[in-house]
Chain A
Amino acid sequence: MYDYKWPYPLEYDREEIINADVLVLGGGIAGCMAAIAAARAGQKVLLVEKGATKRSGAGGSGCDHWESAATNPCSKVTPEELTQAMLHDNDGFNNGISHYIECREGYDRLLDIEKMGGKIRDTEDEFVGAEFRDDGTKFMFAYDYENRFTLRIWGTTFKPAMYKELKRLGVNIVDRVMVTSLLTEDGIQGARCVGATGIHTRTGKFYIFNAKSSIICMSRPARIWLFSAELPGLCEFRPPQCIGDGHAMGWRAGAEFTMMEKSVRAEFSAAGRSYPPYGAGNNHNTWYAASIIDSRGKEIPYADRDGNILKDVKDRFRPAKGQKFFMKGGGIDFPKYEIEGPETLPFSKMIEEGYKLPFYADLTDLPEEERKVIWGMMVGQEGKTKVPIYQNYTRQGFDPSKHVLQCYGAGWTSASFLPQERQLFGLPGGFFNDWTLGTNIDGLYVAGDALYASDCYGHAAATGYYAGRHAAKYAKVNELKHWDKKQVEDEKRRVYAPLKNDSERGIGWKELNMAIAKTMQNYCGEIKYDDLLKVGLSRLKEYEENIIPQTFAYNPHELIRLLEVFDILTVSKIIIEASLARKISMKSLCFVRGDSIEDDSSKEKLIVIKQYDGKVVTREVPVNYFGDLKENYEKHNQDYI
């Protein structure tokens, strides 16, 4: 309720056209690395970002661990072993191509980022002699200290370093522009991608981007089931402007998606339910392997995968007897026995045995270097921790050698959600890709969290760079094609329509988002029924036909928030369509049907879904459609190897 005048010039009717060889959509981790790769390949690169590239995206503020650097000199696992473990852990429902790229090239990207100015080694010798440090390379490892494929890194330094490199390479960076649609040849759905449209988030100006090839790096959908009108910025784990615009425009353009029926009970960051990530007591990711104690100070034991109690703190970082390696981190929620690492005993068991709530994370008794590396390095370098957790808690008196930090929710997680409060989290669905990270649309590539079954910083950097290479290759041999006038005019009408509606009777972005979230909780919650899914779909169509024409925005900022919610509506429809297409429950996809008692887990097929001519088209693809990893990778990347 401010009385300020809108401070920027309003340019709703102005148009700007920018040409490039390679167009990168989204300037997060994947987008920056894609632009860098394409520019290094000699292409004229244009990068469009909704926020400010210097710190935007999920990893903009920081990142504390880099997973799957299988080719680093200290690693004892191969890219093949690691990718196979990831595939097996998800019964095959994982992106073999993108994770193989992560394992194979992630370490190269880390060295790249170091050259740009990012810090990846303990150059100050702060941790000399620590068991997690390799004194030769000064690399610091996390989790499995014997196999050494996950590195602890100083991620707060990364994004500004990439930003500097983009500028050095002469990439044309357009900040504060929301990409709203993809342009296709002759305006035909499914035809070659010739660019995109955008709208300035401060002035409302319209942009036409014309390019030979384009790369989608706009992360993944959010705010489908979860919404708070008071604190929309805290609804989800990822930044609030990352809500799946890329998926929505891809769907409209006829791109293929898979695993979109997968969702999990929410885990993180819905306003009110959870506590600041990495800022409450827990012993995962950043906080591995903190001790957990009960409210009498009694320690909850760690055990290996066979239930053997681990007496020494050092054992928390070693594979179990007979185990080659164990995995922890982003994509690992409920690990299978093969890769299951040390873990504190189950919550329910502790309650049975009389342990007293609440529990606390306790660093006081850890060896000093373990305490210092968790509180000070990991908490500090991890996203969203440097200022709000490390600096603020320290200022307020938190001392990790004296204080213990309370755990919330069930056990030592930081939240407890209702079954219908769902999220696209833990390797969710997304764009379907081939070995070039290309889509079914000619000239359109995808990288990072927008890919199906994707997650993590190193994965985003590696797939970004890879997609940048392949998009550059495409641009070298294809001509620039002009965009279709009618397609652009239709898009202009669509994006500006809310400004022309009646403000008094108008419906704002928050009201619409809230209605969509409630619809999804009601009709597409934990347990799916064909009948309910169909009602849900018709509700969403009603919103599309009758409510969208009544929406209103006061200024460009609210307009882009509204356009985001239109995209949330589109993504919700994709999710329901994908759910309707999967007829039988499937545990591996956390997909439960109430109207079918069978479990389909043995039937390892991906359902690939797209829209064509207003109709939904599906096809089935074997989960291992990508064939032999090493062989196919090498076939497609001779010039890189």
Chain B
Amino acid sequence: MKNIVKLTTPLDPNRIETLRCGDFVEITGTIYTARDAAHKRMKEMLEKNMSLPFDLSGQIIYYAGPCPAKPGQVIGSIGPTTSGRMDVYTPLLLKQGLAGMIGKGKRSQEVIDAMIRYKSVYFGATGGAGALISKCVKKAEVIAFDDLGTEAIRRLYVEDLPVIVLIDCKGNKLYKEFDK
């Protein structure tokens, strides 16, 4: 039924330009988790001219807060959280070179404008498919904000993580608008 685009990280700007909303993509490589509290801290660090826990250029942030790993597991369930809550922080991170985001749900116009300006892409992972997605995670380590528990920044190595392009770098959106 579908054509799958294979992507590796860090994202190549030329590849980003070829992605179109609705594309089925499988991502292999290193990605980083960050959600509400980590975004707030990264913003504060940037305001204080501190360097961020990782270099954002070409990277993907996955909006997710996993369950703890059981003994023998790499990570617990790890599906996407609602991206919209990160919207207030996102343009700032895109400006720093962030190339991709994985989450679920709608984004603000400010985010879409910044995505067009900085040529980045927003992917959707299936909300609530946390157990399924955990199987794609081969390595996981906390690299910053350990005190935040599930909200810490984690570096993940993923293989064939299934996502769909929700918004491409031209600003085309897959979600229809229902609340007009």
Tell me if chain B binds chain A: no
